[in-house]
Structures are given as C-alpha cells and as structure tokens.
C-alpha cells in the first residue's frame, strides 16, 4: 500500500540523480574535501556519545553561546517537526510562514492541526528564513519580528546564510540572541546526503531547550553527522567555504548572463540560487512549463518548479559550473527549436 501524500523537493527523484541538478541548493563547489575526509574517518561501529558532549561544547564555543543553548537535530526537517510539536504542547493555535517558503514548515503545522496565518501577530510559532528560499532574498520585515515575539517562538532558518553571496544578515548580534537559529551545514559543504543539523536556542530559554531535548529520540545524529558538524567549524573547512563563495559568485554572473541571452528573466538573489522565468512561460502556461521541465529531465537536467512555493511560471535555479550552464542553455534551445 502506497501513500497518496507527496513531498515536493529538489534533488534525486524516481529517475535517480540528475546529471546536471539545478534543483537543489547544495554548494556546487562541493563536496568539501576536508569534511568528506572527516566523514570517511568516522567510526560507524560505535554509538556516538548519547549526550554529544564534545560536539555540543565545540558548537557552543564556535557560536560563543552557553552549551545549554545548543540543540542537536537529525536534520532541519526533523527540527521543524519537533519544535512545532513543542509549540503545540505549549498551546499554540497558529503558525505564520514567509510568503514563499519550505514546505515542511506548513506540513508540520498541519500535522499538529495548527492554523496557518499571514499575520505574524496572530501566530504563536513564527518562521523566518534569510536568505529565503526559493527567492534567495532578505526576509521582509525580519528586523521588527524579534521585538514582537515576546509571547511567541520565532525560528530563523539560516540554512543559506553560509551560502550568502551578496548582502548582509538583517538581524544584529543582539537581536539574534532572542530567536531560535536553525543551522544545516550540509548544504554549504555540498554534503546534503549527510543528515545532521543543530539550533541555537534564544538567550534565557533554557526551559524550551530542555523541552526540545525531552522530545528528541536518542542519538538523533549518527557518527557521520557528528563528523560533518565537527568539520564544519574547523579552520580549514571555513577557509574552503570562503574560497568556494568566490567561485560561486563568478559562476552566478556567467549563469545569469547566459540565461538572459536566451530571454530568461532572472530575479535578484543574495544566495547561490535564484528564481527565473523561462521565455514564453508566463502564467497560466503551467502545462507548457511542466512539459519543458519534463523534457529537460529526460536529458539529465533538473530545475525546481516553484509552483508549490506559490510562484507559478518560475523555476528555482541553483548556481552550477559552466559545463552544466551550457548543457542547460543548449538543451533549452533544442526544446524551443522543436516547439517552434
């Protein structure tokens, strides 16, 4: 018996891994060799320390916070569902989301029968993401949210902060201390298949952090995830990441120029991905876009349709190396030529 429920994500699908995958926001310069080596040296024959003492201590030192504020998670998605569960236990009735956002925020709310509302003041759990997905831009109104969240949980998803190519974070260091900060380093390291994440709890929220621990099963992060998180905060990996951002900036300029030369309209973005409208795909041409994306997928090229984000007619395009960019360009020209 199969479930009728489908999760819409980028990355590998029923056809396997695409040859040129523009649908996932993973760092295309990866995998980070130092982090990959650390994962290869992890011992899968042993349980991690159930308290993750060394890992939590090193993450706390890296972020300069009390170790009691570090909450480990099996993945960002697991954390999303767990903190939504905590909010429901605390009497939450509504959740607010960014206008266009990752589907698990809403799915977790629905699983706990919490209402989805547009007005943040009506929500007891509030989600923000910066740079946002799928647009890769600043979260509108984020600066004012911490001051209005005294009676609510505010979670800032920082998955793409390490992949920021332009701009700066909206919140000051002091403001960040009043919100949950969710970190998923696997994207920045080009290692999305390694599932591990962590969050920094707001200052003075020890009870919530302890409650999150109480809701967590034992060993949420395996030995390979521990190795990745430890590598993430090492100096050599931080150096590799900084160099990769310079490469991604150059690739992004080339990719946008190549797409625009074919009539694509590329939206502004601060991250290693952006949204674009292929020529002739203005709404309501959803069937035409779906057909074009299917034809691209048959040629080993995958883009992320943003209809599920509430942005019909657009696709989210991650920044890939020049060879992949030309493959997309040539394949699109072939599709347009066949339909002409």
Residue 256 near residue 266 (C-beta atoms within 8 A) = yes
- CA angle at 272 for the pair 268 and 273, rounded to the nearest 5°: 60
Q: State the pLDDT confidence band at 285, using cuts at 50, 70 and 90.
A: low
Q: What is the pLDDT of residue 143?
A: 82
**In whole angstroms, what is the distance from residue 86 CA to residue 328 CA?**
44
Calculate mean pLDDT across residues 302-329: 94
Q: State the pLDDT confidence band at 339, using cuts at 50, 70 and 90.
A: low
**In whole angstroms, what is the distance from residue 326 CA to residue 332 CA?**
10
Residue 301 near residue 325 (C-beta atoms within 8 A) = no
Residue 316 near residue 303 (C-beta atoms within 8 A) = yes
Give the residue from 221, 204, 230 showing the smallest Cα distance to 55: 230
Does residue 286 have a pLDDT over 80?
Answer: no
Does residue 2 have a pLDDT over 60?
Answer: no
Does residue 211 have a pLDDT over 80?
Answer: yes
pTM here is 0.93
Q: State the pLDDT confidence band at 3, using cuts at 50, 70 and 90.
A: very low
In the chain, what are the domain boundaries? 20-28+242-339, 33-236
**In whole angstroms, what is the distance from residue 329 CA to residue 142 CA?**
36
Calculate mean pLDDT across residues 229-236: 98
Summarised one tens digit per residue, pLDDT across range 176-203 is 999 999 999 999 999 999 999 999 999 9
Does residue 334 have a pLDDT over 90?
Answer: no
Which CATH number does the domain 33-236 belong to among 3.40.50.1000, 3.40.640.10, 3.30.9.10, 2.60.120.560?
3.40.640.10
Both structure tokens of 43: 């011992």
Calculate mean pLDDT across residues 138-164: 85
Both structure tokens of 233: 């905060």
Number of CB atoms found within 10 A of residue 38's CB: 21
Residue 71 belongs to what H/E stretch?
Answer: strand 70-73
For the chain, give the mean pLDDT. 92
Task: Give 174 or 13, the one with higher predicted confidence.
Answer: 174
Does residue 245 have a pLDDT over 90?
Answer: yes
Does residue 41 have a pLDDT over 60?
Answer: yes
Q: State the pLDDT confidence band at 340, using cuts at 50, 70 and 90.
A: very low
**In whole angstroms, what is the distance from residue 246 CA to residue 75 CA?**
27
Mean pLDDT check: name the lowest of 53-62, 132-141, 266-275, 318-327. 132-141
Q: Do 20-28+242-339 and 33-236 come out as alike in CATH topology?
A: no
Calculate mean pLDDT across residues 207-221: 96
Number of CB atoms found within 10 A of residue 222's CB: 17
Work out the percent of the chain whose per-residue pLDDT is above 70. 94
**In whole angstroms, what is the distance from residue 267 CA to residue 277 CA?**
8
Q: What is the pLDDT of residue 338?
A: 60
Does residue 5 have a pLDDT over 70?
Answer: no
Summarised one tens digit per residue, pLDDT across range 69-107 is 999 999 999 999 999 999 999 999 999 998 888 889 999
Residue 102 near residue 128 (C-beta atoms within 8 A) = no
- Name the maximum alpha-carbon separation found in the chain: 63
What is the total residue count of the chain? 340
Does residue 336 have a pLDDT over 80?
Answer: no
Do strands 20-21 and 265-266 pair parallel, antiparallel, or not at all (unpaired)? unpaired
**In whole angstroms, what is the distance from residue 107 CA to residue 335 CA?**
35
Calculate mean pLDDT across residues 261-283: 91
CATH top-level class of 20-28+242-339: alpha beta
Q: State the pLDDT confidence band at 139, using cuts at 50, 70 and 90.
A: confident
Q: What are phi and psi of 109, to 5 degrees?
A: -65, -45
Calculate mean pLDDT across residues 264-268: 97
Q: What share of the chain is helix, strand, coil (3-state, %, to 5)?
A: 45, 15, 45
């Amino acid at each position: 018996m199969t479930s009728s429920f489908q999760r819409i994500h980028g990355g590998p699908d029923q056809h396997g891994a695409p040859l040129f995958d523009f649908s996932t926001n993973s760092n295309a310069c990866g995998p980070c060799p130092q982090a990959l080596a650390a994962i290869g040296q992890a011992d899968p024959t042993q349980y991690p320390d159930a308290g993750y003492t060394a890992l939590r201590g090193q993450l706390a030192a890296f972020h300069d916070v009390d170790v009691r504020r570090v909450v480990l998670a099996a993945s960002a998605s697991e954390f999303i569902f767990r903190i939504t569960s905590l909010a429901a236990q605390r009497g939450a009735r509504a959740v607010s989301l960014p206008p266009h956002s990752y589907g698990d925020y809403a799915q977790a709310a629905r699983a706990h029968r919490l209402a989805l509302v547009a007005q943040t003041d009506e929500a007891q759990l509030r989600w923000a993401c910066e740079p946002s997905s799928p647009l890769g831009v600043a979260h509108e109104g984020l600066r004012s949210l911490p001051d209005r969240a005294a009676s609510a949980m505010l979670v800032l998803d920082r998955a793409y902060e390490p992949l920021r190519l332009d701009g700066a974070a909206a919140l000051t260091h002091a403001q960040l201390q009043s919100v949950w900060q969710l970190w998923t380093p696997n994207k920045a390291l080009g290692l999305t298949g390694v599932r591990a994440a962590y969050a920094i709890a707001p200052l003075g929220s020890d009870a919530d952090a302890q409650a999150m621990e109480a809701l967590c099963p034992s060993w949420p992060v395996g030995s390979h995830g521990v190795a990745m998180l430890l590598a993430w905060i090492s100096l050599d990996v931080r150096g590799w990441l900084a160099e990769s951002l310079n490469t991604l900036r150059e690739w992004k300029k080339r990719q946008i120029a190549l797409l625009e030369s074919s009539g694509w309209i590329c939206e502004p973005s601060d991250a290693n991905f952006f949204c674009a409208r292929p020529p002739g795909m203005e709404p309501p041409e959803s069937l035409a876009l779906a057909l074009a994306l299917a034809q691209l997928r048959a040629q080993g090229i995958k883009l992320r349709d943003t209809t599920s984000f509430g942005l019909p007619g657009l696709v989210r395009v991650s920044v890939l190396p020049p060879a992949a960019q030309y493959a997309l360009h040539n394949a699109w020209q072939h599709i347009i030529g066949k339909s002409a």
